[in-house]
Chain A
Amino acid sequence: NIVLTQSPASLAVILGQKATISCTASESVNKFGINLMHWYQQKPGQLPKILIYNEFSRAPGIPARFSGDEAELNFTLTIEPVEADDVATYYCQQGLTFPLTFGAGTKLELK
């Protein structure tokens, strides 16, 4: 199974600053040159929402403040500038092989 290790578990950021969330995969999630890594946002009491799919593609309606990147199995979700509405838990998920797996989540709070 592909294990996704997210860090940090929680993150406090000043409004307007940058938040960086990491997700390290235990093995490649690449298929035909595309990294099948996806990111979700789950606000308190709400259902998850897709933010980024296939490593860096923003889902419809997602602002450019959210971006995805990858370096050597280490995937990052960056939010810049952070807004109050971004307080949520963020999850990565790999879509390469079954079982589909999620990271444990990173809780973003405002400092």
Chain B
Amino acid sequence: EVQLVESGGGLVQPGRSLKLSCLASGFTFSNYGMNWIRQAPGKGLEWVASISSSSSYIYYADTVKGRFTISRDNAKNTLYLQMTSLRSEDTALYYCARHPSRRDYYFDYWGQGVMVTVSS
């Protein structure tokens, strides 16, 4: 069974940093591209970043480019999102999600999400 479990969220002050993790199991993690998608309270879905299976290709939303860094450790089956210079508008539930192939950028498995609250 595919499982994605996020961790690392919490309350953080504006301008500070936070690092999210997503532990994957139930599939060969190193074969799949991964993504972070967020959802502000009561709002819709916003794609944040994508990383290919070997980390060769990385993409970011303009809203986080230069502040967030997506990375992965295939030996640890773990996806990361390093977030710096956090703003109140980054407050959201952050999901990690898998995309099924490098040609198919849709999200077939999602984690339960981890909440990030940016507030003083």
The interface size bin for chain B is: 20 to 34
User: How many Å from the CB of B25 to the closest CB on chain A?
Assistant: 16
Contact status A38-B46, CB under 8 Å:
no
Of A13-21, A64-72, A76-84, A91-99, the segment with at least 4 beta carbons within 8 Å of chain B is A91-99
**How many residues on the A side are at the interface (Cβ–Cβ under 8 A)?**
24
Chain A residues in 8 Å Cβ range of B111: 47
- Report if A53 contacts B (CB, 8 A): yes
| B63, closest chain A residue (CB) | A99
| Chain A window 34-67, contacts with chain B (Cβ cutoff 8 Å), 1 for yes, 0 for no | 0010101010000111100110000100000000
User: How many Å from the CB of B7 to the closest CB on chain A?
Assistant: 15
Contact status B107-A99, CB under 8 Å:
no
User: How many Å from the CB of A20 to the closest CB on chain B?
Assistant: 20
User: How many Å from the CB of B38 to the closest CB on chain A?
Assistant: 11
User: How many Å from the CB of B120 to the closest CB on chain A?
Assistant: 28
Contact status B44-A100, CB under 8 Å:
no
A48, A91, A104: residue with the most chain B Cβ atoms closer than 10 Å: A48
- Report if A28 contacts B (CB, 8 A): no
- Report if B69 contacts A (CB, 8 A): no
Interface residues of A (CB under 8 A from B): 36, 38, 40, 42, 47-50, 53-54, 59, 89, 91, 93, 95-96, 98-105
Contact status A59-B108, CB under 8 Å:
yes
A111 CA / B53 CA spacing, docked (Å): 45
Can you report 24 A-B residue pairs in the complex whose CB atoms are below 8 A from each other?
A36-B104, A36-B105, A36-B106, A38-B106, A40-B107, A47-B95, A47-B111, A48-B107, A48-B110, A49-B110, A50-B108, A53-B106, A54-B104, A93-B45, A93-B47, A93-B106, A98-B50, A98-B59, A100-B35, A100-B47, A100-B50, A102-B46, A103-B44, A104-B44
Cβ-defined partner of A100 (8 Å) among B105, B110, B113: B105
User: How many Å from the CB of B60 to the closest CB on chain A?
Assistant: 8
Chain A residues in 8 Å Cβ range of B61: 99
A95 CA / B62 CA spacing, docked (Å): 17
